[in-house]
Amino acid sequence: MSGASEIAAGYAFTGPALDLGALLWEGQCLPDAPVRVPLTVLNRHGLVAGATGTGKTKTLQLVAEQLSAQGVPVFLADVKGDLSGVSAPGADGEKVRERAGEVGQKWTATGFPTEFYALGGLGHGIPVRATVTSFGPVLLSKVLGLNPTQEQSLGLIFHYADQKGLELYDLKDLRAVVAFLTSDEGRTELKDIGGLSTATAGVILRSLTAFDAQGAAAFFGEPEFDTGELLRTAADGRGIVSVLELPAVQDKPQLFSTFLMWLLADLFHDLPEVGDLDRPKLVFFFDEAHLLFHEASKAFIDSITQTVRLIRSKGVGVFFVTQTPKDVPGDVLAQLGNRMQHALRAFTPDDQKALKATVKTFPDSAYDLEELLTGLGTGEAVVTVLSERGAPTPVAATRLRAPESLMGPVDGAAVDAAAKASSLHERYAQAVDRESAFEKLAARPKPTEKSTEKAPEEKASSEDRAHRQAEPSMLEQVVGSGMFRSLARSVGTQVGREITRSLFGTARRRR
């Protein structure tokens, strides 16, 4: 049993840690050899991967409830609607008792403090909205499927709206600005800084119209969600588990994956630098992570990589949840120090290829990983984490503990009741439509025929004065731009905040 002893020694941490399960060795489960992950390294990010039906969701639940118990807030994206049970005590039964006995767990049915959210209020939970301005042109381009040229044009539109004080709160505001900039009156507005072609504007407008027709308008507007709400703890000191209910928008995968990125980017530029803490401020589980990277541009992936790399020093840990490590770009994967890999299938040549690629992402081990990964049972995983000194632990086949909360969804009526009873409900439940770009452009005086009938000399003189007075110099355009003001606000602050602003284009809100 020397191999098992060496592996077990790699998980004998002295500080606070989460108990994942017990070591599997030569077909036996060893309850006296616990597999754990130190609380101090959970801001070094992680990956939970595995084929459908192998137990990834229960692993998220297990980790979330242990984090909550140790005072760490958790964010969970609940794509299938299976994680709402974290709020209720689990159901005792033969299978639960059997698993607890195998891994040496003292199982107690326990519910955890939970807030339920829903994108735009579609589904159960407190509505989560973002203004179009805050979401920014980069993330919005990803949602709309725009190409790089169209993304640059959208950025120019945001720049113009910011410069002219045209608030982009919802989609109709953005459509109104695009329509104005392609009208006879507005098309000269961007002429000196690139202009906006009719063809590109048409693509953007059509994309926005189709997006709106899918019901996406509900996700954009006010009151905008303050991501600081995700950092709260309950009165008893346990971390609040924030569950974003996504079943109602499963048919909009690009939207919810990008919306999750907005939440993370917003946290990134709002939080101060804190370095390494004894426990994270928040652990953020990013489910269906492959959707975020699908057909993403190199610049977009680079910005995600930098966000993940730098948010660690702000006390936030990010776990990507997907089927195989190859779903995550290599530069991002390299940032994920804690790994829990459930079983993989190897039925096709592509499956075999994915299996071999997954094995190569693990350190050398005492196991035949190809054989092990295809033979793991439900609720078992191959684990390697960072030790308290930051070195990878030995690879450990692990039988995972049973969650103590309900392993399944709670009734929708119970979620609705919990949302209405929340202290946040009054703040976010009712949508607000303030005066913004749509109303301001609609109220703009229309040029009359009489006002344009001037003598040639008077017309030339008037145009010359108007040109000098109304059209800013290049310096004025730069100084007045949203990008310049954003940079100016960032002077003296953390480098990470500037990177988020420049790469994602998300706007900082005055709270």
- Tell me how far apart the alpha carbons of residues 321 and 310 are, in angstroms, rounded to a whole number: 20
The kind and range of the H/E element at 18 are strand 17-25
**pLDDT score, position 295:** 79
Half-sphere exposure of 288 (CA within 13 A, CB side): 21
- Tell me how far apart the alpha carbons of residues 379 and 356 are, in angstroms, rounded to a whole number: 22
Contact of 259 with 119, CB cutoff 8 Å: yes
pLDDT in 10s for each residue of the chain, 511 residues: 468 999 999 999 999 999 999 999 998 999 999 999 999 999 999 999 999 899 999 999 999 999 999 999 999 999 888 899 999 999 999 999 999 999 999 999 999 999 999 998 888 899 999 999 999 999 999 889 899 889 999 999 998 998 899 999 999 999 999 999 988 888 888 776 667 888 899 999 999 998 888 888 889 999 999 999 999 999 999 999 999 998 888 888 888 888 999 999 999 888 999 988 999 999 999 888 888 888 787 878 888 899 999 999 999 999 999 999 989 999 999 999 999 999 998 889 988 998 999 999 998 999 999 999 999 999 999 999 999 999 999 999 999 999 999 999 999 899 999 999 999 999 999 999 999 999 999 998 876 654 444 445 444 444 444 444 444 444 344 434 444 343 333 333 333 333 333 346 666 544 4
Both tokens assigned to 480: 């007045």
Give me the domains of the chain, ranges plus CATH numbers: 2-128+241-425 (3.40.50.300), 132-219+445-504 (no CATH)
DSSP state of 418: H
- Tell me how far apart the alpha carbons of residues 194 and 180 are, in angstroms, rounded to a whole number: 16
Residue 321: partners with Cβ closer than 8 Å, 6 or more residues away: 47, 48, 49, 56, 60, 285, 286, 287, 288, 289
Q: How far apart are the first and last CA of the chain?
A: 59
Contact of 341 with 49, CB cutoff 8 Å: yes
Residue 121: partners with Cβ closer than 8 Å, 6 or more residues away: 127, 129, 218, 429, 431
Beta bridge partners of 30: 23
Name the residue with tokens 């040639």.
456
Helix runs in 193-284, H state only: 198-213, 253-270
- Tell me how far apart the alpha carbons of residues 37 and 18 are, in angstroms, rounded to a whole number: 5
- Tell me how far apart the alpha carbons of residues 344 and 51 are, in angstroms, rounded to a whole number: 5
Contact of 117 with 418, CB cutoff 8 Å: no
Please provide residue 41's backbone torsions phi and psi, each rounded to the nearest 5 degrees. -105, 5
Both tokens assigned to 508: 């900082």
CA angle 104, 111, 398 (to 5 degrees): 30
38 three-class SS: strand
Nearest alpha carbon to residue 281 among 73, 112, 77: 73
Q: Concatenate the DSSP letters of all residues of 79-101 into one string.
A: SSS-GGGGGSBPPP-HHHHHHHH
- Tell me how far apart the alpha carbons of residues 344 and 11 are, in angstroms, rounded to a whole number: 24
pTM above 0.75, yes or no: yes
242 three-class SS: strand
